[in-house]
Every structure is written in C-alpha cells, then in structure tokens.
Structure 1
Amino acid sequence: MRPSRSSSERSDGRPRDSPVATGLTADRGSASLEFLTVGVILLVPLVYLVVAVSVIQAAALGVEGAARQAARVAVLAADREASDVAVDRAVRVTLGDYGIDPAAASVSISCDRRDCLEPGGRVSVSVLARVELPLVPDLLALETMGSVPITATATQTVSRFASGSP
C-alpha cells in the first residue's frame, strides 16, 4: 500500500515550499523579458549596419554615375573649356540627384594624349566624395572619422570621327 501524502508534499515527495520549487517559480515569465532585451541589443546594431551600408551603396552608385556621365560629356565637348564646364555640371547634377554634396567632391580629368579631344584619345574622369555615416554627431572633427571616402573612375574614348580641336 502506498503511504498517504500530506497536502504540503508534491508528487515527487518534496515539500511544496522547498528552495528548488520556489526558485523555479520565481523565474516564471522572465524568458520573454530576456528575449526582448537580447533582441533589442542585437537588433539595434543590425538595423544601423543595414542603414549605413545602404547609405554607402547609394553614394557609391552616385559617384560611379557621376564619373561615367562626366567622362561621356568630356569626350563630346568641342574644346577643353567646354569640356571642363560640361564635366563640372554633370558631376554637380548627378551627385545632387543622389543627395551627395557636390561642393565636397573633387574631380580630376586625365588624358592619354597631349590634346584630350584628339580622335582616338582616351579621357579618364575620377570623382572622389566623402559620405557621412548616419547618426554620427558633428563633434571634435569627427567628419573624417565619421565618413567614408568613395572614389570612382570612368574612361571614354573620343570618337575617331570627331573633328578634333578647331
């Protein structure tokens, strides 16, 4: 025959108010709190990383597009002065479309020949822009540490049917 249990004992024979039983019940409901805490701690940097990579990727596309368009208009210009004006305008418009400050960008043009617009000549345009990372405060000259330099270079060939310099 089985011994009878008192109302203060559990089915495993331990008293209901034992330290093991009270320790387990004291943790009840804290798993959701721990999950939320760890989730937020991991989620906030992950969201920031996604936003920062998106900003850098958009800027890379903008700088690449600016260099490509500038090289295209450089080889189509009638003379060197018109080429420089067209390159400057193309870079300003393209970077402005992507939300990059055109005043902070630098542009360099190089040619493989003495006359850049000589038929068959190759014109290279390099664009360098610094893109600020999101949510970085403007303190103590952090603009260099809180920004990423992005460079793009594009090369176009002057048409062999171009008239050359007048």
Structure 2
Amino acid sequence: MLVEVAFLLVLLVAPLFYLVGTLARVQAGAYAATAAAREAGRAFVTAQEAGEASGRGHAAAGLVFSAHGFSDVEGSVSLSCVGGDCLAPGSGVSVDSRVTVELPLIPDFMNGVVPTSVTLTAHHLEGVDEFRE
C-alpha cells in the first residue's frame, strides 16, 4: 500500500505544482502589463518637454517589466496622444502594453499542438493635469 500511495502522490502533486507555477507566471504577466501601462502614462504626462515624454514612458515601462521578470523582448508599450497636443493641459495619453508569457516546461516540438505562450494586454488612459504650466 505504501508504494501505491507514493505513486499516486507523485501523479497528483507534480501536476499541481506545475499548475501553481504556471498560474503564478501568468499572474505576474498580468500585473506587469497593467503596471507598465499605468506607469508609462504617468511618466509621459509628467515630462517637462514633449520630446522627452515618449522616452520617459518607455523607460518607466521597461523598469516595470524588468521588476516582474520580463525582458524588453517579452514586453512592449505603445503611447499615443489624445486630444491634440500631448502635454497641453486637459489632453492625455493612451497607453497600450503587451506582455508575452512563455509557459514553462513545454518542449519546442509541441509548438503546433499546444500553445507555448500567452499574450496579455492592458490599456490605460492618463490625463494631463488641468493646471499644468
């Protein structure tokens, strides 16, 4: 009976550990996509000049992606102005972020059979302060 219990324990616990690890990685991707969009928008609208705003937004998103364990290849962000001039009071910036999460322990030969990655997206709209100089 001890052998059967040990065998069943391995059969049940190993997939459970894989499921928990996979869900944790996907949740980290969801947090990274949401936080990168939010922080890129905040960094964009707090820039002093329009020329540096896009660079600040991409840098902020890159910091968030790296903090969550994703590289620049896995995460990306796109910024677009809403309402005319990007940094004019009352206007805003629309931010879309995308993170590709590679699922662990899936071999390359299974590429066409099962999905080996999940793409997560987030959208954020950040307004420029009405009383900006």
> TM-score of the superposition, structure 2-length normalised?
0.87
What is the root-mean-square deviation in Å for CA atoms of aligned residues?
1.9
Alpha-carbon distance in 2 for matches of 1:41, 1:84: 50
Structure 2 residue aligned with 1:33? 3
What amino acid does structure 2 have at the position aligned with 1:106? S
Quick check: 1:42 aligned with 2:12?
Answer: yes
Alpha-carbon distance in 1 for matches of 2:41, 2:93: 7
Alpha-carbon distance in 2 for matches of 1:103, 1:53: 21
Structure 2 residue aligned with 1:159? 129
Q: What is the SS of the residue equivalent to 2:63?
A: helix
- Over the matched positions of the two proteins, sequence identity in percent amounts to 35
Structure (1 or 2) with the larger CA radius of gyration: 1
Q: How many residues align?
A: 132
Structure with more strand by fraction:
2
For structure 1, the 5+ residue unaligned runs are 1-30
Correspondence for 2:62 among 77, 84, 92? 92
Q: What is the SS of the residue equivalent to 1:103?
A: coil
Bigger relative contact order, structure 1 or 2, given CA contacts below 8 A and separation 6+?
2
Larger CA deviation: 144-153 vs 112-121: 144-153
Correspondence for 2:89 among 119, 131, 156? 119
Correspondence for 2:43 among 68, 73, 78? 73
State the Cα distance separating 1:81 from its structure 2 match. Answer: 2.1
Alpha-carbon distance in 2 for matches of 1:39, 1:75: 54
Alpha-carbon distance in 1 for matches of 2:77, 2:16: 34
